[in-house]
Amino acid sequence: MKKTDSVQLALSLGIVSLALMLGALGFQYLDRLPPCEMCMWQRYPHIAAAIIGIGGALLIRAGLAGRKAGGALAAITALLIATSGVLGGYHAGVEWHWWPGPTSCTGPAFQFHGTLDLTAPIVRCDAAAWRLFGLSLAGYNALISLAVALGAFVLLARSKRTT
């Protein structure tokens, strides 16, 4: 893999993260499935990966950053995607009750903490709002994100061997 390919890889990884974020927002606003606290945790690395991957690749292509940064850019973007995948795996485990989740969003469906907003949705982290073939959105995020990150790390490792 040439160094310019690592720039393309970073751009592609950023686009994957952007697509996953758009999917999550689609479920939130079109399907009316508000995210829980742990869902939000998974979004932050994807937002960063989209900005870094797409933005960095465009800066390199515009000549505003050196082409040597392409490999590091792709690696950082892949690491952010993997981080979201690990958080998704943790969240899926909480939903399957394999381990406890944070007390702020698991357990009883209602906990009073001072102010009372009867219009706010109560979203528990340990109850999947949607499933397909047994996996929740967190489970799919874990599978997709970890597979994409692993593929990116394999491509980056191969490019290091050939250069």
- Encode pLDDT of 20-79 as tens digits: 999 999 999 998 889 999 999 999 999 999 999 999 999 998 888 777 888 999 999 999
Domains and CATH numbers, the chain: 3-162 (1.20.1550.10)
| 2 has pLDDT over 50 | no
CA 152 to CA 144: how far, in whole Å? 12
Global pTM reads 0.86
Kindly state the helix (H) or strand (E) to which residue 11 belongs, with its residue range.
helix 3-29
DSSP string, 91-150: HHHHHTTSS---TTTSSSS----S---TTS----TTS-S-EETTEEHHHHHHHHHHHHHH
| 100 has pLDDT over 70 | yes
Q: Which amino acid is at 26?
A: G
Average pLDDT, the chain: 88
Kindly state the helix (H) or strand (E) to which residue 42 belongs, with its residue range.
helix 37-50
CA 110 to CA 87: how far, in whole Å? 24
| 1 has pLDDT over 50 | no
CA angle 134, 137, 143 (to 5 degrees): 80
CA 1 to CA 162: how far, in whole Å? 7
* Torsion over CA: 64, 68, 70, 76 (sign): negative
CB of 138 within 8 A of CB of 92? yes
pLDDT score at 3: 44
